[in-house]
Amino acid sequence: MSASSNLRHTQAARPSSPHTPQQPPRSGNTSFASTTSPGSTFRNEDDAIILEIGARWLRAGFEGNSTPVCVVGFGPEESRRVGDYRGWIQGAAGTGPLPKPVNADDWVRDYELWQLDLRKVDLGLLEDKIERLFRETYNNYLLTDAGSSRLVLALPSLMPHPLLSSLLSTLFSRWRFPSITLLPSAAMSATAAGLRSALVVDLGWAETTVTGLYEYREITTKRSTRAMKLLQQEMGRLLSRLASCEDHEAEDKDRISVGFSYCEEVLTRFAWCMPHAKDGEQPYQSAHTVSIPSPVNPVQEFFDVPFSRLAEPVEIALFATGIPEIELDDEEKSIPLLVYNTLLALPPDARGTCMSRIVFVGGGARIPGVRKRILEEVSSLIKTHGWSAIRGNAVERQRQRMEDLRISSQTNGQKQKPTTSENGETPGEGEKIDPSQEVPEIDFVEQKLHRQNKEMPVPVQGVLREVESLGAWAGASLVTSLKLRGMVEIEREKFLQNGLAGATRDSEPPVPDRRSGLRAGDRSSWTLAGWA
């Protein structure tokens, strides 16, 4: 009885005419359905590809991520042709000893994509290497079609034009990218640190660059050849001397007999920087020894090395220890002196802001103790020379004479200055003035400014301070995810017509319009901005 009644009730409730089923109200919360949520394995098809390319490494990934998907290096293993099995027959390249000592420059040539000395670079071969590198990165790591997504390149602004032209020509001619956006590495490193103004110290492979940024604009840049390439060569020479039982002859001092990969592994694991030795102090000495694998037989043989010896390449390569400053060329300055000269070249207001926001990036910044040592030596240079670029014995004598006159004038002034009491009378001999009775001078302007700005945070200025950064790739990913259109956006058709010669030489790029989504109004002509 109950079953039939339920059936009749269901039939009576069913409408006689067709109708659209009622849908539940849509919820405004779409975070779980978003393809860019943290727990999702999918991504939007319009996400841009972020690439940071240098002489040794390529970092690639998608916009909005904090870390790249892959970090690809360059070397003989990545340059093998099809059917070349020497990597499996003879072992990994660079791990064992070399058949004979080689020159330091020839020793590192196969492990870098390009060299800054373009007289020794085959641009045609470079373009082939770039094509293979990008194709394997897309097929093996990014797993997407090259040319279907927007491409953003984070590059140093000091990149030579022939290298930049070869890179853009390869990407535009081999793939169908509609446009490529260029972002400066120094500004992106500051952005990843949450800064608008900073002093970015990039201890890279071929050179070290120090860039002063003020409101995202590069004011001045100085560079030195004392970087990781020179440090790698110095470590190779040291290991060659330690591994060899015979003393090297004079003509073999610049030749290396150990493998590149073996030397790089020792450099990564054991290299360190000595602390700063103040005036009158002896350099740091350590009796501790470490055992490292022998380059002849790394699996079974080891030899002991004094721990202090592993800091010698850093002292020679990065700090030019034992070399007078007068004997160093402009491109051979030590890292602390390079940082000091860059700060000296900045305007006073920008200098006070940048010196309190020093950002260290690059492979050399990971060496233990190197950042603290640089800041300590820069502080010592500031105390010694101040913010004056004038040097010399005559200047030091004049400065000492003025200091003596100042001290003598203060001493005479203290002897002749009478002291008065609160009622205006001069105390007699033996009488003293109570310091608590002294009335401080009131500055009404300072009080008014203090009342107005007491809730506003005071920015840190005028002191040496380090700020951590996630790197240029993370900064480029953040900027791209905000959908900001870069100042240097190169379109395919315009570049293929005239190449880099088609760029205008405007000293200042067009200012974006905030009302139109931060997009520049005139895009009929394009400029290289900081790369010009």
Can you give the pLDDT at residue 355? 95
Average the pLDDT over 270-296 and give the result: 80
Backbone angles phi, psi at 313, to 5 degrees: -60, -35
CA atoms within 13 A on the CB side of 284: 19
Label residue 94 by pLDDT band (50, 70, 90): low
* Beta pairing partners, 72: 58
* pLDDT tens digits along 291-305: 988 877 777 788 889
Backbone angles phi, psi at 448, to 5 degrees: -65, -45
Can you give the pLDDT at residue 520? 42
Average the pLDDT over 217-239 and give the result: 94
CB 113 within 8 A of CB 126: yes
Label residue 85 by pLDDT band (50, 70, 90): low
Label residue 36 by pLDDT band (50, 70, 90): very low
Closest to 163 measured CA to CA, from 211, 232, 112, 111: 112
CB 357 within 8 A of CB 467: yes
* pLDDT tens digits along 344-382: 999 999 999 999 999 999 999 999 999 999 999 999 999
Can you give the pLDDT at residue 28? 37
**Domain boundaries along the sequence of the chain:** 49-74+111-189+471-531, 194-225+328-389+460-468
In sequence order, the 6+-apart residues with CB closer than 8 A to the CB of 341 are: 222, 333
Instruction: Report the percentage of the chain scoring pLDDT > 70.
Output: 74
Can you give the pLDDT at residue 29? 36
Closest to 214 measured CA to CA, from 194, 183, 182, 190: 190
Q: Quick check: 316 pLDDT over 90?
A: yes
| Tokens linked to 204 | 């890279």
DSSP line for 112-159: -S--S-GGG--HHHHHHHHHHHHHHHIIIII-S-TTSS-EEEEE-TT-
Question: CA 211, CA 256: separation in Å to the nearest integer?
Answer: 33
SS3 sequence of 157-184: CCCCHHHHHHHHHHHHHHCCCCEEEEEE
Can you give the pLDDT at residue 417? 52
DSSP line for 273-318: -PPPPPTTPPPP----EEEEE-SS-TTT-EEEEEGGGGGHHHHHHH
CA dihedral 233, 236, 241, 242 (to 10 degrees): 140
Q: Which CATH class is domain 194-225+328-389+460-468?
A: alpha beta
Can you give the pLDDT at residue 438? 53
**This prediction's pTM:** 0.79
Can you give the pLDDT at residue 1? 46
99 CB burial (10 A radius; 0-12, 13-18, 19+) = exposed
Which amino acid is present at 216?
A: Y
Range in 59-63, 331-335, 497-501, 526-530 the model is least confident about: 526-530
Can you give the pLDDT at residue 453? 67
Label residue 330 by pLDDT band (50, 70, 90): confident
* pLDDT tens digits along 121-177: 899 999 999 999 999 999 999 988 887 788 999 999 889 999 999 999 999 999 988
Question: CA 451, CA 86: separation in Å to the nearest integer?
Answer: 75
Question: CA 521, CA 510: separation in Å to the nearest integer?
Answer: 8
Better-predicted residue by pLDDT, 526 or 315: 315
Count the helices and strands in the chain (H runs, E runs).
Answer: 16, 14
Q: Quick check: 508 pLDDT over 80?
A: no
| Tokens linked to 361 | 């990036």
Burial 497-506 (b: 16+ CB within 10 A, else e): eeebeebeee
| 49-74+111-189+471-531 and 194-225+328-389+460-468 in the same fold | yes
Average the pLDDT over 489-508 and give the result: 80
Range in 78-82, 353-357, 424-428 the model is least confident about: 424-428
Can you give the pLDDT at residue 524? 57
Q: Quick check: 87 pLDDT over 80?
A: no
User: 335-345 and 312-319 helices cross at what angle (nearest 10)?
Assistant: 30
Question: CA 527, CA 10: separation in Å to the nearest integer?
Answer: 73
Closest to 313 measured CA to CA, from 381, 395, 394, 229: 229
Q: How far is CA 465 from CA 237, 340, 417, 432, in A?
A: 35, 14, 41, 44
Q: What is the residue-averaged pLDDT of the chain? A: 80
Average the pLDDT over 76-81 and give the result: 72
Label residue 191 by pLDDT band (50, 70, 90): very high
For the domain made up of 49-74+111-189+471-531, give the CATH fold: Nucleotidyltransferase; domain 5 (3.30.420)
Q: Quick check: 514 pLDDT over 60?
A: no
* pLDDT tens digits along 461-483: 889 999 999 999 999 999 999 98
Pairing of strands 217-224, 208-214: antiparallel
Q: Quick check: 15 pLDDT over 50?
A: no
Query: Which sign does the torsion angle of CA 378, 384, 387, 393 carry?
Result: negative
